Structure 1
Amino acid sequence: MLDENGFKKKTYAELIEEMEAKAREGFGETINLSPRSFLGILIRLYAWFLAIVWQVIEKVYNNSFPGTAEGVSLDRAVRFKGISRNLEEYAYGKVKIRGTPGATIETGFIVGTKNNIYFETTEDAVLDEIGEAIVEIYAEEKGTQGNVAAGEITEILYPDPEVVFEVINLEPTAGGTDRETDTALYTRYQSYPPNKGSSDLEGIQAELLEVPGVRDAIVSQNTSMVEKDGIPPKSIAPFVFGGTDLDVAKAIFGRKSGGIQSFGSTVVEVLDSKNIKHYIGFTRPEIIQIYVRVALTKKANFPSDGIEIVRSQILNYIGGESESGTEYPGLGLKQNVIINQIVWSIIELNIVDDVTVELSTDGVTYASGNITVLDGKVAKTSFDKVVVS
């Protein structure tokens, strides 16, 4: 139940006790409710399924609060304070290359450690008169495994002994991070002050999330002096889902630091207080259209509008427009479509015995597996793409 003290789920034992009391009220105190009686067995069957529903309701309630939310729900909850989960980042550093004087080492030259952690050079380099050059490198894969000690990068993936004799990192590489855990994210949330007025990534994201119509926003950056992941040097790259172009551009301009480029495929002209023009770039996400095919094993209590109820559950999870024109927010940027989430959203309605769900991105090839949504993309569906039978 939900009252001023919060939510408290009913347990399996409590549900049996309540249903037994109701049965005695309707059939008399002498009714046989033992675990082996027909009515006793029926009560326990219903109590078992209802206990699952109460567990789902408790999870939905808990996911409304940062202290008890998990996964994507926690990501959404902490954004009200302007925080987002720290994702994987590439490690970076420098290596000294020794070889034939005057030789050119092209961008993308691959070096690594003895345990197969590889790095690429980020710029062309020409070996000096003594055959040496210091070159910046980035790890090929994101994560802390790219943070290696000095002297560990000694291997060349495709060696040419006549050009390069030796490679070594004189200093440790740094900057590689793993995806932040729920526990670490909530701990940071507890100690993090409101982000009003800050111009860091989280402050810009917080500002964007307050723009009318914006459903999600992620701001990436490149702090290096070379292009990385398609982002120019010393730039931010906002991805914004929803809101008008002008409102989004004004929000970015009002928060970003001076001298930092806001990069993206959409560029909007913004005037400052002196009527000087500034060009603010950001990127709209690529929409991945999701087709859903659902087969139901219906219970006896399946309502006449049950198909529409099920379709609404799916639209509410993924996001999209209903037949009546209602727009469901659904998933945000880079959030995968999880097939079990769809199944449970239907099971919790308690009007079906079984559910089979298949997903497709083209409406032709369907599979009973999750759909991965990459950077800069968002999943979306609509009533006509959700077929329920």
Structure 2
Amino acid sequence: MGTYVTESGLKRKTLQECRAEIENALKQAFGPSFETSADSPNGLLISQLALGFSNAWELAFEVFSSRDPAQAVGVSLDFAAALNGITRQSARACSVNAVAFTLDSSATIPQGATAVRTRGNLDFTLDSSVTVSRSACEKLMIEDDGSQKNTDYVFHFTFGDVTLNNSTEQSNLYRLRQLIIVAGGKAEFYGGRLAVWVDDSTVGITGQLPDDFNIYAGNTGSFTAVTEGLQTCDIGELDAVRGSVTGFDAVYNFVVGVPGRDAETDEELRVRRAIYAQSIKSCGTDPSIEAHLLNDVPGVTAASVTSNRNMTTDNEGRPPKSFEALVGGGEDYDVAMCVWKNQPSGIQPYGNTSVEIVDEDGDRQMISFSRPRAKYLWVRITYRLYDEETFTGIETLKAAILQWADIEYNIGKDVIPDRIYQGIYGVPGVGQCSIEVALTENPTDSPNYETDTIPVSSTDYAVLSTDRITLTPAT
């Protein structure tokens, strides 16, 4: 080893050692009577020289330490992590595919058009322009604008004409949905409107449009949040248009968005580098698969792997001798390919998403993994006001509950009704309450309320919105 870099590390000199060395060198050169006291002119010069040498030693120590991931910070840590093939994850904005709708017969919705996630009032902009034609589009959206019972309304859909004349107690839109399905189309309610489409084909409506209905035509575009950071966009949350853009009249996301991400901190990067360095030594283990998903697949924000090593199905439905990779972010094909390359031989990958990939030999393989799935939470609260405080209003109370829920309900978190009091009692003027909750598969399903805890599986998460919060004053 060298004189200063020893087996125990860099042997740096202190300020006092630097000063003593300079004093000794000057006395050897000019004699023992050479004046070096601290307040003498020579002593002041020695102090400045010693400080300069000491700073140089500190610089040497910082450069030496910057190679150690446990001590390196910032760019130096980036360089250290790069030796393991790891790059710091930068901040990224949430993105989501949503259908941009127009009321016109045709329109081009320009790049930069702004949609709004109403939760948190977060703006998303359209990544590239979307052209829509009412005669051939991905989805139609029908809105009742004052239709009447016992009145003929003719819809000339491309899959067949539908005549609505409703004499039942059902709403006209509900009856129209039934007729569309009989005629060969698909229809479902989203956000109070009726979405119409055809599987594996475009859908359209031609000829004279019926009165008393607003009919939107839409195609999918990619929208990206205007701010980077840890944000999500669940189904139906991108549902408003910002400003006035010709031809851009409505928007709705029918799929969950790709979560955004904060910039990776030094400590997070250190931990990820250490996990990767350790797990990469093995192959086919849960930590190894997690590490490869996080580091090898662009866009992956989270990954966890759970194995069922037993000969019976476990309590979350995993088959015997299988593993489940739960992955947030990344393209489906890239995730599936990573799972294929790093899975243990002969062990079945399991999950709620299956993707066919082509392996190194050109053979097709079906690979399964799981995506976090939203379960739609409904909250019904019967409340009394507390007279000694000023109640700030229903909307304020809903916003407080929603803000609490955004923090509370991460993946696998059960819905415990009594915990919702934490969100309620931060609002002045609220007295005694009773809480009922429900979870549904779709935001348009009818809730079955209960007061007991609702279990949430390890691959699901509860999501709440203001339109699923019902507040009723106690009588």
TM-score w.r.t. structure 1 length? 0.46
TM-score w.r.t. structure 2 length? 0.38
